[in-house]
Structure 1
């Protein structure tokens, strides 16, 4: 067995007991030699997910953390000490020190959305590899500015649109874009039904000024997927939506929540593909569904977590091709330890490909340009809900003087 083939012995040790072995007797269970060190900027719930996945993937370790919130820092320090007792964790006193530490190779930015651009401006001074959580910014203007910064950046600059790597979407991408199992795609639909937004530090995700609004904050994942499947730029967007159930009477430090909890979005692409997105955030489950129809078949896939004691698969994918080819029905999934590590395993592969790209082993990950276009659709949909009009994408791009798109 080569060193390369056993790089992820953290995966092995998650399934088998090895604490009884002396270090000299470990081979499959030996502690992997990490090649890189990362710092995490933002030590909340998502920061902890990035920490755990980095350590599980094994080719990098978490060197330190920075956060302005003491509760988040203390909680993450405690978690790290309990789960990774053989490692030390630095706690930085300033953002500049966290970014500029010469021992560190990469920075993972997972602070509240409205802070991303300012933090990136500091982070790029370091020339380190950067992974920025979605959405990259809360406004079109800020997103375009970050896109420009990324285009001039020599190191890896990756956007955290990791839903591409969820099992159902990863397989759908393979079937539709590589195997071309449905032929030429003509229309696409995605659905998300889920519980309300969870609590955050200072409840920033309940206010559009800080989150960008529901369609930017959460739904950028799905707009990224729609853009990816369409392989085209959005041309026109029409949406309806409202705040019908969630946070209607929510107040925090004198502010009233203003985020929507449901929407129907229609997108026309420049190449003629039509797409739709259905959102409901007051459902008692987590359910996602994607359907793609082409001139040679149809693909449907879903992911379901309904908290019921019913023994059934949590994922499903079917490709129906009629006389054009083989039909396929299955349950896409990853190994349990990966699937349960965060966002159904997508965060793990986001990190795996981040490290691959650092190694020069180029993998397809969300670029700043793709992150920008996911926000374009979200901003257009939000504007359509407010005005009741069909939004011409060229017009909103003109507002921020985007040229040569």
Structure 2
């Protein structure tokens, strides 16, 4: 029975009405009592996404929220009451210390602006609770190493929100490339992101490199994590070119002009010889991601597309071409629609599912603190290369930044 009720809580109720039934008459639609309570630190748009997937996944509930912005607190409180009227109102905490150390709570989900992550994590880690922190872990290599050192022997789950690994196209790519070895030994990796500009945030912090870490860290850490993950190696050299060519030229906030790049091409050489590239455009009228991986036995291509057009066509595609080495494959990876629509095309849902699985010692592969560190390393190297025009030697950069050899 437990397996059936878990399934119904995840997505059956999104397709069938059961409000007319009393609790006594619910079997398939019986809702199991959540085993865990989470607090949300940072009650903005991403905080609401984490609330949504927590409630959808069902094994946990949201106990409370903390944010220094009163509008965000009010909006998220209203959102929660509207979407989950049967649940108790969210507890609103007055201080960071209070939200981190409430003994009723099992886990903390950190969704505050990038530049606050280090200080929030340093308080959260004192609690010993399970922690899920949104990407990027920090905004600099130096701060990222400080956090990774703090979390080195952390006994509870400490997961970084590099959830793109769990999008359906990348989940299938992982299976084909790293488990099935459909392309053989990987030699080159290419990732593309073409999308609309950065959206509005509270105090517009994402328009300024000082607060976000720069576009290469703020947004592109997702893709650098994927490059690192598929290369299964550490980056050796990074070269990047890019600029602020279209977006936010006339944008100012409190008298300060935006300074974030809106396009870039990044080359990464890995210690094991794999070569990778990343292409970013943030003034395209779509959301498009593509990965192409070539190995000595074949090639994989996958993409995800939302171009706002009223056309009846697939939003995802995956192909594996193996030539004489094996069968070819094409597919359209996806998740159940209620999961797919819950955030980042289902990736945030599975990030939460695996977070709780790991809490229950049912080990799932997720982004670790060390993974978070290396995604920031490539991002900071790309930012430096764009500014200077130099090829960045990763070992030299880290040694100069944190004073220790890798």
TM-score (norm 1): 0.99
* Residue aligned with 2:82, SS: helix
For residues 196-249 of structure 1, what are the alpha-carbon distances to aligned partners after superposition, in whole Å with 9 as ceiling and x for unaligned?
000000000000000000000000000000000000000000000000000011
Q: Distance in 1 between matches of 2:303 and 2:141?
A: 30
- 2:69 matched residue in structure 1: 69
Q: Which residue of 2 aligns with 1:112?
A: 113
Deviations 1:109-145 (A, max 9, x none): 0000000010011111111000000000001111111
CA gap 1:179/1:21 in 2 versus in 1, 3 angstroms = same
Post-superposition offset of 1:307: 0.2
| Residues 398 and 405, structure 2, Cα contact 8 Å, conserved in 1 | no
- Structure 2: which 5+ runs fail to align? none
Q: Counterparts of 1:69-218 in structure 2 under 5 Å?
A: 69-88=69-88, 89-218=90-219
Distance (Å, rounded) in 2 between the aligned partners of 1:8 and 1:44: 29
Structure 1 residues 348, 402: CA separation in 2 closer, same or farther (over 3 Å shift)?
Answer: farther
Q: Is the 8 A contact 1:197 1:281 kept in 2?
A: yes
Q: CA deviation at 1:9?
A: 2.6
Instruction: Name the residue aligned to 2:263.
Output: 262
Counterpart of 2:302?
A: 301
SS in 2 for 1:266: strand
Residue 220 of structure 1 is matched in structure 2 by 221
Native 8 Å contact 1:133 1:159 kept in 2: yes
1: CA distance, partners of 2:351 / 2:229: 16
What per-residue deviation string (whole Å, max 9, x for no partner) do you get for residues 148-185 of structure 1?
11112111000000000001111001100000000000
Distance 1:331 1:401, change over 3 A: same
Segments of 4+ moved more than 6 angstroms: none
CA positional deviation for 1:254: 1.2
Residue correspondence of structure 1 range 297-376 to structure 2 within 5 A: 297-376=298-377
Q: Please state whether the residue corresponding to 1:204 is helix, strand or coil.
A: helix
User: For this pair of structures, how many residues does the alignment match?
Assistant: 404
Counterpart in 1 of 2:233? 232
- In structure 2, C-alpha distance between the alignment counterparts of 1:6 and 1:257, rounded to whole Å: 49
Q: Is the 8 A contact 2:144 2:376 kept in 1?
A: yes
1:293 Cα offset (Å) = 0.1
Helix, strand or coil for the counterpart of 2:364?
coil
Other structure's SS at 1:98 match? helix
Question: What value does the CA root-mean-square deviation take over the aligned residues?
Answer: 0.8
> Hey, what does 2:5 align to over in structure 1?
6
Distance in structure 2 (CA, Å) of the matches to 1:203 and 1:293 = 39
Q: Deviations over 1:23-72 (max 9, x none)?
A: 00101111221110000000000000000000000000000000000111
Deviation sequence 1:349-371 (CA, Å, 0-9, x none): 00000000000101100000000
Contact 2:41/2:66 (8 A) holds in 1: yes
The answer on whether the counterparts of 1:238 and 1:391 sit within 8 Å (CA) in structure 2 is yes
Give a deviation string over 1:248-284, Cα, whole Å, max 9, x none.
1100001110000000000000000000000000000
Q: Any gaps of 5 or more consecutive residues in structure 1? A: none
Any conservation in 2 of the 1:9–1:32 contact (CA below 8 Å)?
Answer: no
Q: Measure, in 2, the Cα distance between the counterparts of 1:8 and 1:103.
A: 27
